[in-house]
Amino acid sequence: MEIVTDYLRQLINRQVDEHGLVVWYDAEKHYKDAVAQFQLEDVQIFKYESTKDQPDSFFRLRYAIEPFLNGTEPPRIIVYVMADQAATHHALIEIEVAGVVLYPGHRLLTCNTRLSVIARAALKDVISGDALENIVKSAEAGKYTLHDLDEYGAQGVGVGRETLTLIFAGKADEEIALLFITSDRYDQALKDKDAVLQLQSLLVENYGLPLDNSADPAALRAAFVRYLLRTDLLLNIAGAPPAQLAAAPVPVENRQQDACLSLANTWRQRMDLRPSYIEWAATVEEQLRIASMPFRADEIEQVATFLAVERVLQREIAAALVQEPSENAVRIAEQKQAASFWSQVEDVQPLWALIASAGRLLLEAHRVDHTLRNSSFDAAGIVSAYTSGDEPLCNLDAIHRQMELGYHKFTFYPGDEMHDLLGRLVSRAREQYMRVGSALAARFVTAYQQGGFDLPDVLRQTQIFDRKVKPHLDSHKVAYVWVDALRFEMARDLIKGLRDDFEIALEPAVAAVPTITVFGMAALLPNAERLRAVVAKDVLTPQIDDTRLKDRGDRLKYFRSIYPNLVDAKALRLGTQAEKSRLRRIFVTLTWY
């Protein structure tokens, strides 16, 4: 919608209809672009637009118009002159007297093309009261263009927000605040159109910013961001604020508090605005000396404002876990690891992960210890408790592995308070893991011995091929994957990512002894129930029937002697689709570590 331009077009068209010939002076060039787009029926438009680089001539203009004045029909002509009438020295006097003259300030309203006059007439039915008067005054002062006034007409404005509506293209209040605090691209327009105080009024009304009548956009931005982040911190602290911030002003009205929280959170979560938030948060954090303020973990759990507060929370949680592990402390660490703003943009995520896994290991060690102390498991019961249920005992090993992985990925700096604290936490978790893990192993070995080293209902490693693989060979293509040192809890983790695509069955097996790689791998071969150990050249070697299996080559050779179609994936390079289709069965043999 171009309400002002349309009004102007209609005004000019009426003058053409009534007078035939219109001479229009526009020394300030307000309407240059609009005239270029005028499409009036049967109207010829002639322009005089002299510039320093390309001067024009009134002789040229009169010569171009002359043929239209000598016709038998009344002319329909607009002569648009981008110059002051007095500066033409009456060069167009003959044309003027034959028609009508329009110019800014004409005594007749219908001939007065002053921009403020056009704006008032065009917008009076769209905008009223003080809003319209403010627009007219700004247009009179030369602060608005015809395009600006069209924007007002298209959007409609409220009292006191006219210029902001124009500068920020009709955006909602929160978006205006975001655009302002994250960029200085609007500063010049705010100064040129005297709209800084309008913007400050919006910030005062919506967010409770203390009024200081700053006319400098940069100063207003710095003051508002400091106020906004400080408010976000204070409103998210549980309990009394630190003494250093006790006297800091915060919004009184609930709507202003909600607006501050919403604006700060939106700023953090917007990927396109995140860099500006991080930069400003660091600046304000230093100005307020946040790192020197005392905070307790229960006070700042919900705070996401400053990185320094996040690091305080990490120290508090780690220290609490060293003293007395609790589910609540571990829960906070796990939640922060997964969803904290600063975990996404800073190096705090690995630290949260290590705190969480160490704390979880301490809790799990306590649970397993309690289970062992309050149960009368036999060997089969321990196997069942370790491998099945919602909280199997194998979780102890899984959590320990996760902690160690995180520990080895983390860089420690001796002498750093946080890193020294984290080292103590990891050491305590390791001690508890070794104590409880050893107790679990000793308990199982004792029970296993008491049961005659027999677990009749548990699969043995030497039975895996004959019972779990062989029955499928006549009807399916089979991939048989051998992985050295894959503990039960690791297999349990592995299949979590496969459940959506496959039918999964996980079953423990009793390992062949001695539990070293060469025997463990041999126990996965066909006929492995006949596996035995022999001594050859003072080396203990596995053997099935008369075949000794010293290494991987021996195992593959033995496998192929029974199943010639075996394809070793370690050396497999499939060619054409036809070659692939000729493969009847696939046994994949992999060795890790």
Let me know: does 403 contact 504? Beta carbons within 8 Å.
Answer: no
**508 occurs within a structural domain:** yes
Name the more confident of 213 and 393. Answer: 393
**247 occurs within a structural domain:** no
Do 50 and 115 belong to one domain? yes
Per-residue 3-state assignment (H helix, E strand, C coil) for 250-264 = CCCCHHHHHHHHHHH
**186 occurs within a structural domain:** no
**Coil/strand/helix, residue 351:** helix
Question: Can you read off the two tokens belonging to residue 193?
Answer: 């159109």
Do 51 and 102 belong to one domain? yes
Do 466 and 575 belong to one domain? yes
> Tell me, what's the pLDDT at 583?
39
Helix (H) or strand (E) holding 155: helix 146-155
Rg (CA), the chain: 42
Alpha-carbon 118 to chain mean position: 47
Question: Can you read off the two tokens belonging to residue 532?
Answer: 């035995």
Do 39 and 97 belong to one domain? yes
Domain stops at, among 408, 429, 455: 455
Q: What b/e string do you get for 277-299 counting C-beta neighbours within 10 Å, with b at 16 or more?
A: bbebbeebbeebebeebebebeb
**355 occurs within a structural domain:** yes
**61 occurs within a structural domain:** yes
Domain stops at, among 120, 145, 171: 120
Calculate mean pLDDT across residues 263-267.
Answer: 96
Do 379 and 341 belong to one domain? yes
Do 481 and 414 belong to one domain? no
Which residues are CB-contacts of 524 (< 8 A; sequence separation ≥ 6)? Answer: 461, 464, 465, 480, 482
Do 13 and 98 belong to one domain? yes
Calculate mean pLDDT across residues 475-494.
Answer: 87
Domain stops at, among 102, 120, 138: 120
> Tell me, what's the pLDDT at 590?
35
* Amino acid in position 260: C
> Tell me, what's the pLDDT at 162?
65
Calculate mean pLDDT across residues 372-397.
Answer: 93
Do 476 and 451 belong to one domain? no
**230 occurs within a structural domain:** no
Q: Please give the C-alpha separations between residue 496 and each of 56, 424, 491, 499, in angstroms, as whole numbers.
A: 80, 32, 9, 6
Q: Is the pLDDT of residue 307 over 50?
A: yes
Alpha-carbon 51 to chain mean position: 51
Q: What pTM was estimated for this model as a whole?
A: 0.68
First CA to last CA distance, the chain: 72
**465 occurs within a structural domain:** yes
Phi, psi for 285 (deg, rounded to 5): -55, -40
Instruction: For 530-572, write each residue's pLDDT tens digit.
Output: 999 998 788 899 999 999 999 999 999 999 999 988 888 764 4
Do 12 and 76 belong to one domain? yes
Do 448 and 484 belong to one domain? no
> In this structure, what CATH number is given to the domain that contains residue 30?
3.40.50
Q: How many domains does the chain have?
A: 3
Do 397 and 463 belong to one domain? no
Do 449 and 465 belong to one domain? no
**194 occurs within a structural domain:** no
> Tell me, what's the pLDDT at 94?
87
Instruction: For 107-164, write each residue's pLDDT tens digit.
Output: 898 899 999 999 888 888 777 666 778 788 888 888 888 888 887 777 654 444 667 8
* Amino acid in position 369: D
Instruction: For 177-228, write each residue's pLDDT tens digit.
Output: 999 999 999 999 898 887 888 888 889 888 999 877 677 999 999 999 999 9
Domain containing 477 equals 459-581
- The C-alpha atoms of residue 161 and residue 135 are separated, in whole angstroms, by 10
